[in-house]
Amino acid sequence: MNKSKYVFAQLIEFLDSDKFRHLVDKYDGNRYVKHFTCWNQLLALMFGQLSNRESLRDLIVALEAHQSKRYHLGLGREPIAKTTFATANQNRDYRIFEEFAFYMMDQARSKRAVDIFKLKGKVYAFDSTTIPLCLSVFWWAKFRKKKGGVKAQVLYDLESQVPAYFHITTASVHDSKAMKEIPYESGSYYVFDRGYNAFKELYRIHQHESFFIVRAKKNLQYKCIKWRRRMPRNVLTDSEILLTDYITSRKYKEKLRLVKFYDEEQGREFSFLTNAFHLSSLEVADLYKNRWQIELFFKWLKQHLKIKKFWGRTENAVRIQISAAITAYCLVDIVQHDMRLERSTYEVLQILSISLTDKAPLNELFEKTKFNDVKEQFDPLIPGLFD
């Protein structure tokens, strides 16, 4: 790496600017634009998110403080006005940024592909996180009487530890409604929490010749038709069942597998429904256990989305900001892979947050930064197997 380049400028070399330019042309994103292009907008958003800026005003102040560096950071020569930035977020086509985020997810997943679970198909977790919004500002995102928000519905690749797909809805949309948006792949495994007991959609997964594992609700109505004997330690039940409730049995007519597992650490019992009859009961429990990784991603995403701080009032602005955040996350994953860094994604993100305007080769930055005494802020998510 060139020692004369800023850290942020070195980072953006890992972005495919030609691909982004193609998307800008596709949606005519730079029409009537003189200075603050879509590319400048994306980089400014990513700079703010990676450096943990609290608001749009905070970001503008930071950029003004580094006025002499702005061009070399890739943010253009002209000063960025707060109104210009907010207007761009509100009015430019969000599909430019969303499709580029999808492209970055594919790139990161292909680079970080591994076979942790030793299964023939991919393993995904699907879940949502609610991002609160001020209802007086984001009136279109009404959730409850006095609350507003949007949901980021995310399909997360548990092996590469990179998002594979996301879908944005208002917070009032029930989680299970977003299941129909998932691009299912034959032979893959999909892990869901209790909010996704939508048997019509689960049966659709089965018809795709894919497999699901979902945490069962306590009021599930069923009858056992076959039991497995000689259960492993902590497996309470492993049986084949048929649904008996009239409505659910019409949505899922075939047999299911019910696995009940006791988690000693939490002293709790968990019940899982699956159509994966070929897995062992412990494999079923282990796949569900690994869904904590998506919670780790959600924690990072919410910490870096300061949407309530006026980065733009419209749904379009929210979609652009979420897409830019996911792009930034995938960029760090790609950098981590290509540079063969022996640090976690979250260590890399924290180091970058205080180093974007430094002049230092990236490899030296990550090798020399002392991080042993810094507690990783995401550890509290990890202790329980099924949190």
DSSP string, 214-242: EEPPTT--EEEEEE--SPPTTEEEEEEEE
Please compute the mean of the pLDDT values over residues 195-202 and round it to a whole number.
94
Tokens of 56: 């749009």
Residue 305 has pLDDT above 60, yes or no: yes
- Scanning the structure block, which residue is given the tokens 């982004």? 20
Please compute the mean of the pLDDT values over residues 203-219 and round it to a whole number.
95
Lowest mean pLDDT among 136-140, 245-249, 251-255, 303-307: 303-307
* Beta carbons within 10 angstroms of residue 251's beta carbon: 15
Phi, psi dihedral angles at 326 (to 5 degrees):
-65, -35
Q: Return the closest-CA partner of residue 133 out of 99, 102, 169.
A: 169
Beta-strand ranges (E) seen in the chain are 123-133, 142-144, 147-157, 162-170, 189-192, 211-215, 222-227, 235-243, 256-263, 268-274
User: Residue 152 forms beta bridges with which residues?
Assistant: 129, 168
Residue 377 has pLDDT above 50, yes or no: no
Per the model's pLDDT, the better-predicted residue between 330 and 302 turns out to be 330
For 240-295, how does the pLDDT look when each residue is reduced to its tens digit (9 = 90+)? Answer: 999 999 999 999 999 999 999 999 888 999 999 999 999 999 999 999 999 989 99
Whether 349 and 49 have beta carbons less than 8 Å apart is answered as no
For all residues of the chain together, what is the average pLDDT?
88
For 105-117, how does the pLDDT look when each residue is reduced to its tens digit (9 = 90+)? Answer: 999 999 998 889 9
User: Residue 361 forms beta bridges with which residues?
Assistant: none
